[in-house]
Amino acid sequence: MTQLAHTFSALGNQTRFAIVERLLNEGDLPVGAFLTMDNLSPPALSRHFKVLREAGIIERRVDKQQRIYSVRPQAVQQICEWSISYRKFWSAGLDRLEQALSEAD
Amino acid sequence: MTQLAHTFSALGNQTRFAIVERLLNEGDLPVGAFLTMDNLSPPALSRHFKVLREAGIIERRVDKQQRIYSVRPQAVQQICEWSISYRKFWSAGLDRLEQALSEAD
DNA sequence: TTGTTAATTAACATAAATGATAAATAATAA
DNA sequence: TTATTATTTATCATTTATGTTAATTAACAA
C-alpha cells in the first residue's frame, strides 16, 4: 500500500478520525483523555492509537504512566500536498482555497 | 460517519486509491479500462467503483454499454480544505505549499 | 433472432477489522 | 510491600471487507 492510501485507511474510521481532529484542536493528549469516547474500552482505544501510529499519523512520548500522543505535522501536510497537486482539476478558481489560507492565519 | 471519514475510508484501499489517481490523471474512463489492474475480476472492480461512488468520490454516466466514471472535484477539494484548516499546525512556513500552488499552474 | 461485449447483482468463502474481557506491565501512592 | 492508575497485550467473538464464480441485464453486431 502506498503511504497515502495507508494514511487514508487509518483516517477512514470515525473513532480514529475524531481522535486525530481532537489532537489537532486541543493539542497533545494521553489515551485516557479519550476514554469516554463512544464508550470504548481501553484496549479498543489503545488499538486505534496503534493503527494511527503505525500509519505515521501520530507519535507518542512516554510521560510517567501516561502515553502522550500528538499528530505528526508531515502526515497532514502530505494529504494537503496530494490534494493540491490536483488543484487544477478540482478548483474552478482559487477563491475558496485563498479564503481558507487567509482565515487560517 | 462524518463525510470526510467516509471519504478517507473509501480512499484507504490501494486499488481504489489507484483508480482515483488514474481517473484524476487520465480523465474519465470506463470500468473496463481498469480490468488488468491487480488481476481483479470484473465484479471485484465493480464493487470498488460502487464504494467510491457511495462515498461521493466518483460519479458515473451511462454511455451505451459502458459506465464512464469521473472524479467529483468537490471530493478532492474537501480533503484539501480539511488539511488547509490545520495549516497553522503543520506548516512551519508556506514554502512547500506555495511551491505546490505555483507548480500546479 | 443469436451471439458478443460491458457491467452489475447474487451467493458464497475467506481475510481483516473491531470490540470485549482478562491478564500483564509499569509507574505512583499509601 | 500492597494497592491504584494508565496503558498495552493476549484471546476470542462478531462484523465488515474483499475476492471468486455464476447468473442477470442491457446494448450492439452478425
Cβ-proximal residues to A13 (8 Å cutoff; 6+ apart), any chain:
A48, A51, B5, B9
Q: Where would I find the H helices in B1-105? A: 3-11, 14-26, 42-54, 73-85, 87-90, 95-103
**Domains assigned to chain A:** 3-103 (1.10.10.10)
pLDDT tens per residue across span A2-42: 999 999 999 999 999 999 999 999 999 999 999 999 999 99
Note the pLDDT of residue A31. Answer: 98
- Provide block-wise average pLDDT over 10 residues at a time, chain B (105 residues): 97 98 97 95 98 98 97 96 94 65 65
Q: What is the CA B100 to C1' D15 distance in angstroms?
A: 42
B96 neighbors B85 (Cβ within 8 angstroms): no
CB distance A96–B89 less than 8 Å?
Answer: no
Cα–Cα distance for residue pair B32/B81, rounded to 1 Å: 32
Residues 36-65 of A with CB under 7 A from strand C: 38-44, 47-48, 51, 64-65
Best of A48, A76, A94 to substitute, by most chain B Cβ atoms within 10 angstroms, is A76
Centroid of chain to Cα B22: 9
Note the pLDDT of residue B98. Answer: 65
